[in-house]
């Protein structure tokens, strides 16, 4: 009787241990979450709600914006946002209404501009805004920024292209991942303190990318600002536009047809 009881106890213990091992083996792994980047809104300024924002950049202390032309009666523009008045001071207008303007970036004495599906980009003198050249875009043109040495371009996919200044020839491509998965829909870009920041199309997120390996290492959630834009008469459109002012260490963000440009401070 004692032997039988002992054997039953051994069997029971074995089954219990084995069951625990199976439970551990079948348990789902913990889901990796991208670290949240905190920010504080410092101020906001009026923004022309007719501007379909495609690019935003600070140059010589002024906030430049490039726009698309989703409606046949409009042209794609490049100009300066007067933050005191909310007026848009036009500097460039694409004469062909079929050209849909996209991201812009200044590098040295040049201003570069992308177009959406027209497979062409334009080069301007950064002082006179006179067009001095153009370059081919193999796919779609979305966002532009620079690390000070190369022009960096997005095309709406999970890939960033690094281009040689001057002729915009391809130097290299960088695949972007977030927690091991492709991070596509990369839109407007900005280079801030060694990282590439990218708007994620049709979301309220901006991601921080390590250019050394293409990994997303942080994410800003600008839903509160998008919600404010949605409360206006026109409702605004998607978040798009990020510009860093190195002189103040502050960032400007806005969206297509938004009523305001918001000035934020990204916390470490």
What's the number of CA atoms in the CB half-sphere (13 Å) around residue 218? 15
Q: Name the least confident of 3-12, 78-87, 136-145, 157-166.
A: 3-12
Phi, psi of 12 (to 5 degrees): -60, -45
Q: Rounded to whole angstroms, how far apart are CA atoms 126 and 114? A: 15
pLDDT of residue 95: 85
pLDDT of residue 236: 82
The separation between CA 231 and the C-alpha centre of its own chain, rounded to angstroms, equals: 23
Band of residue 29 on the pLDDT scale cut at 50, 70, 90 = low
Q: Name the least confident of 23-32, 66-75, 101-110.
A: 23-32
Assess whether pLDDT exceeds 50 at residue 12.
no
**Per-residue pLDDT tens digits for 188-247:** 999 999 999 999 999 999 999 999 999 999 999 999 999 999 998 677 899 999 999 999
Burial class (CB in 10 A: 0-12, 13-18, 19+), 171: middle
Core vs surface per residue 147-156: b (16+ CB within 10 A) or e: eeebbbbbbb
| CATH number for the domain running over 37-266 | 2.130.10.10
Q: Rounded to whole angstroms, how far apart are CA atoms 74 and 126? A: 24
Band of residue 11 on the pLDDT scale cut at 50, 70, 90 = very low
Q: State the pTM of this model.
A: 0.88
Question: What mean pLDDT, rounded, does the chain reach?
Answer: 91
Quick check: 97 and 115 in contact, CB under 8 A? Answer: no
Assess whether pLDDT exceeds 50 at residue 24.
no
């Amino acid at each position: 009787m004692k032997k039988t009881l002992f054997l039953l106890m051994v069997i029971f213990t074995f089954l219990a241990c084995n069951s625990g091992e199976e439970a551990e083996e079948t348990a789902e792994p913990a889901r990796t979450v991208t670290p949240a980047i905190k920010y504080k809104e410092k101020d906001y300024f009026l923004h022309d709600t007719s501007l379909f924002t495609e690019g935003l950049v600070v140059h010589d202390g002024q906030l430049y914006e490039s726009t698309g032309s989703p409606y046949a009666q409009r042209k794609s523009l490049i100009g300066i946002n007067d933050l005191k008045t909310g007026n848009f001071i036009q500097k460039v207008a694409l004469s062909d209404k079929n050209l849909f303007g996209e991201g812009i970036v200044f590098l040295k004495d040049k201003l570069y501009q992308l177009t959406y599906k027209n497979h062409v980009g334009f080069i301007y003198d950064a002082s006179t805004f006179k067009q001095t050249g153009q370059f081919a875009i193999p796919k779609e043109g979305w966002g532009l920024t620079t690390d000070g040495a190369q022009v960096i371009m997005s095309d709406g996919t999970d890939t960033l292209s690094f281009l040689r200044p001057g002729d915009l020839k391809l130097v290299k491509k960088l695949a972007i991942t977030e927690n091991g998965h492709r991070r596509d829909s990369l839109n407007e870009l900005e280079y801030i303190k060694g990282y590439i920041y990218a708007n994620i199309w049709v979301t309220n997120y901006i991601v921080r990318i390590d250019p050394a390996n293409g990994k997303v290492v942080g994410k800003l959630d600008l839903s509160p600002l998008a919600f404010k834009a949605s409360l206006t008469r026109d409702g605004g459109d998607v978040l798009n536009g990020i510009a860093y002012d190195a002189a103040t260490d502050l960032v400007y963000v806005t969206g297509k047809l938004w009523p305001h440009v918001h000035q934020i401070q990204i916390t470490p």
